[in-house]
Amino acid sequence: MSTYAIWNNKGGVGKSYLTFQVAAEFACQNPNKRVLVIDLCPQANSSSMLLGGMFGGEQILTQIHTTAPRKTISGYFEDRIRSPYVSPSTGANYITQVSMHNSQMPRNLFLVVGDEQLELQSSRVSAATSPGPQDSWRIVHLWVRDLIEDINDRWDHEDCIVFIDCNPSFSIYTELSLTASDRLLIPFSADGSSKRAVKAVLSLIYGSTRRQGEQQSEFYLNSQRYRMALPQIYMYIGNRLTQMNQSSASAFRTVVEEIGEEIWEVWQSSPQYFCVHPRGASTPRNKRTFKQMFQYEVNDANTASVVSSALGIPISRLTAGQRDVAGRRITVNQSQLDKQVPNLRSLVQSIE
């Protein structure tokens, strides 16, 4: 079983959109595996898309959020706030089978629903890391890992894969997502500030600093102190790339290349932070083979992406033609689908 965190310290780069598309596509490509999405973002965007999108999905979310006890990530955290240092083994009570609510989704896709209550809980979660037993930081940071273990037990350890949609901020629940994950997918958009955000990811998780004496993150220092494994970089994904015209394409390329350089430098000094894949592949020997292994690109599919997320239909299941979105007829073109579907398919084929 592998657990992937989808994280970038920058907002709006496509973490939730890619979680939705990648999880759905993986489930379609691997009907014999169970796919679990854990939505650890209080905005619950990926939950909303998975459960049916802007209308159907939002309605179901409201229903789930107003039913006690909450069958969401916050419901599980409530159990853990009551029992911070001994796992209550209640994680499996919080799974939702996505196809029960959204018929467009394959039956092997499951979700621990996101919840805005995470914001309210975060101070109580943080508080649990300091009193109590000496290694309370470590125990609390394993809550999401415990949740996955409970679900895995319920599923008799059958083959499964986990995707965690993270909040952009380096909040306590993002930390918990990272300690639960063994692999990291870093989406970024092709703009100047993305480079800074990718640097922040590297420094917050792996403590990489540019100058001597620069402060390292508490998360990194504590992970070292308690000898906890850190997730390894599996892919960095240039997302929402546009191929409108020659000059915008080359501007995007420049940014993607610069971010690639940044990550290439980390590889040269710290290859242990990377997950060489697929299993059995040989270690990249030069920049070209490094990029082939770790760098991916997903184009913007314009209207097709909007329709896909608004209606909760995975883009690879969407067909060209007219669709009704909020009472308006919207046309999805085959050319839009062709921009993104092949990207997603090949990206997902590289995930194991």
Ligand X SMILES: Nc1ncnc2c1ncn2[C@@H]1O[C@H](COP(=O)(O)OP(=O)(O)OP(=O)(O)O)[C@@H](O)[C@H]1O
- By the criterion CB under 6 A, which residues form the site for ligand X? 11-17, 41, 43, 45, 168, 239-240, 298, 300-301, 305, 309
**Residue 15 or 70 with smaller CB distance to Mg ion:** 15
Burial 21-37 (b: 16+ CB within 10 A, else e): bbbbbbbbebeeebbbb
**Residue 95 or 166 with smaller CB distance to ligand X:** 166
DSSP 187: E
**Residue 132 or 168 with smaller CB distance to Mg ion:** 168
Q: Does 45 bind Mg ion (CB under 5 A)?
A: yes
> From Mg ion, ligand X, none, which one binds at residue 284 (CB under 5 to 8 Å depending on kind)?
none
Q: Does 48 bind Mg ion (CB under 5 A)?
A: no
- Tokens read off for 186: 């870093």
**Residue 53 or 207 with smaller CB distance to ligand X:** 53
Q: How far is the CB of 46 from Mg ion (least distance, A)?
A: 7
Which residues, in sequence order, are bridge partners of residue 161? 2, 35
SS3 59: helix
**Residue 43 or 87 with smaller CB distance to ligand X:** 43
Instruction: Give dist(CA 57, CA 352) in Å, integer.
Output: 28
Name residues contacting Mg ion, limited to 12-31 (CB under 5 A).
15-16
Name the residue whose CB lies closest to Mg ion: 16
Q: Which stretch binds Mg ion (CB under 5 A): 44-52, 134-142, 236-244, 274-282?
A: 44-52
Helix spans in the chain (H): 15-29, 45-50, 53-65, 73-82, 117-128, 136-140, 143-154, 172-180, 192-206, 218-225, 246-269, 287-294, 303-311, 334-349
Instruction: Give dist(CA 207, CA 61) in Å, integer.
Output: 37
Q: How far is the CB of 130 from ligand X (least distance, A)?
A: 28
Q: Which helix (H) or strand (E) holds 111?
A: strand 109-112
> From ligand X, Mg ion, none, which one binds at residue 9 (CB under 5 to 8 Å depending on kind)?
none
Chain residues in the site for Mg ion (CB under 5 A): 15-16, 45
